[in-house]
Structure 1
């Protein structure tokens, strides 16, 4: 299979999902975590000032409807300074970077760190391959709205996020249009989560994870398969996903689970770290 999906499609799918995920969090959580977000230059800029994980402040989706320029990146950094954001990550598809990107990075103190793999898969391909998957004792199904907080706790625990406030963040999406949350159960215990954001012909896979004691049973694959089947029912054409790039000597189970269902790596995208204090300029 040779899957070709334009970066403009994959980047906007992820950007819109992440923007909605954070801006639809309950207001009490947004205030406690210092969350804010805006649209700029065709992309989205998200800030979480009180984020001890340094994961959620991100700028992405650029280069699609407007070019990436020094002025745009400067405006984004100014936004972060105005918000008091300690640090943030810029995520831009390599094909959408300008020729003077190195100069822009030097001016704003952006430093390349780890990379993410951007994955795509035709919906019909994933659904067909899902017929050959069979989880061991795991049951997967749509999430009931009254289980939202429990679902959020499992999601954040599976990703290693703090147990205070963070579990409340995803609960706002559970009943919002466009979102389709699923859960995985083992012997009646909610042990896995995954949601999907549908935008046009794309279905963005989001927040798929299983608690450590329930792993290696096919739960994450089953969560992917269930969402793929729903995406097919909804008329979607493409599944979009991201995960950490597998470095030499490491094994990313999430990546291989997606390979099993027919996902292919469209490209690898570096994470460009910006810090308010400017330490990275000296690196």
Structure 2
């Protein structure tokens, strides 16, 4: 396996693991209310939220590293979603790991192309520091609920059920939630997930009133330092690719501190019913 292939594998597996822990770590009552099921399959993870109020949380990812992506594997993933009565889900597979017959698989399983994300990575000791006039630091356990609230409000997601899910997940010691404060007010949030020698920088969000003040750049720096202290050598992250003529501030922040794009990965959308039916 080449260095690029190794980094691709680490990036995909780390994202799959933190997403699995986000959902598998939800309290029992939240899992029941949202119709949540998480399983491992074919070297990846398959996550279902039957009553997802956002359309974000049902996804399958991490495939193609331990086992090849095959028609039988994708059929099994889609059968899982059908059995869970999941209306739709997103399959996230690195482009180099898609099989030659992917178009045929998509046609057979009712999968269509969606938006595209950028996967980025960097060696920790190559990152440039980001600065802000806000106070940045780890979030203590008694503020996990507030941290989850900031994340969800910034992403336009409802706090009912999802708030306890996020707050419950970060009790896992591999998660390290961080925030930025303006005085006593928490105005930005982000998370770190440590996975062996690789750390994921994820869940970055800033309230509208405090955007443009360097909160996310500083949070990237603080989390990278925490990852280094935990023994990590690399950090990885992902964010949406902007449309032509537009920008994505999250991507700009990552590039500014020194993360480098590895590849662009399309979101493949499976639906229980054909689109428009």
Would you say same fold, with TM above 0.5?
yes
Asked whether the 8 Å contact 2:120–2:260 carries over to 1, the reply is: yes
* Structure 2 residue aligned with 1:119: 120
User: How far is 1:192 from its partner?
Assistant: 1.2
Secondary structure, counterpart of 2:54 in structure 1: coil
Alpha-carbon distance in structure 1 between the residues aligned to 2:171 and 2:38: 21
Q: Does the alignment pair 1:273 with 2:269?
A: yes
* Structure 1 residue aligned with 2:53: 52
> 1:30-179, aligned counterparts within 5 Å?
30-126=31-127, 129-130=128-129, 133-136=130-133, 138-179=134-175
User: How far is 1:24 from its partner?
Assistant: 0.5
CA RMSD of aligned residues (A): 1.3
> 1:200-215, aligned counterparts within 5 Å?
200-215=196-211
Asked whether the 8 Å contact 1:116–1:270 carries over to 2, the reply is: yes
Asked whether the 8 Å contact 1:123–1:238 carries over to 2, the reply is: yes
Alpha-carbon distance in structure 2 between the residues aligned to 1:173 and 1:123: 25
242-251 or 86-95: which moved more? 242-251
22-31 or 57-66: which moved more? 22-31
TM-score, normalised via structure 1 length: 0.94
- 1:159-203 CA-to-partner distances (Å, cap 9, x unmatched) read 111132222211112321211111111121011111111111100
User: How far is 1:32 from its partner?
Assistant: 1.2
Secondary structure, counterpart of 1:241 in structure 2: strand
User: How far is 1:157 from its partner?
Assistant: 0.5
TM superposition outliers: structure 1 runs of 4+ over 2 Å: 3-6
* Structure 2 residue aligned with 1:223: 219
Alpha-carbon distance in structure 2 between the residues aligned to 1:189 and 1:166: 21
Secondary structure, counterpart of 2:200 in structure 1: strand
Asked whether the 8 Å contact 2:117–2:265 carries over to 1, the reply is: yes
Q: Does the alignment pair 1:232 with 2:228?
A: yes
Secondary structure, counterpart of 1:182 in structure 2: strand
Asked whether the 8 Å contact 1:15–1:44 carries over to 2, the reply is: yes
Alpha-carbon distance in structure 1 between the residues aligned to 2:146 and 2:231: 30
User: How far is 1:250 from its partner?
Assistant: 1.0
User: How far is 1:91 from its partner?
Assistant: 0.3
Secondary structure, counterpart of 2:244 in structure 1: coil
Asked whether the 8 Å contact 2:22–2:170 carries over to 1, the reply is: no
* Structure 1 residue aligned with 2:14: 13
Q: Which consecutive residues of structure 1, in runs of 5 or more, have no partner in the other structure?
A: none
Secondary structure, counterpart of 2:116 in structure 1: strand
Asked whether the 8 Å contact 2:131–2:215 carries over to 1, the reply is: no
TM-score, normalised via structure 2 length: 0.96
Asked whether the 8 Å contact 1:42–1:61 carries over to 2, the reply is: yes
- 1:67-87 CA-to-partner distances (Å, cap 9, x unmatched) read 100000000000000001000
Asked whether the 8 Å contact 2:36–2:47 carries over to 1, the reply is: yes
* Structure 2 residue aligned with 1:242: 238
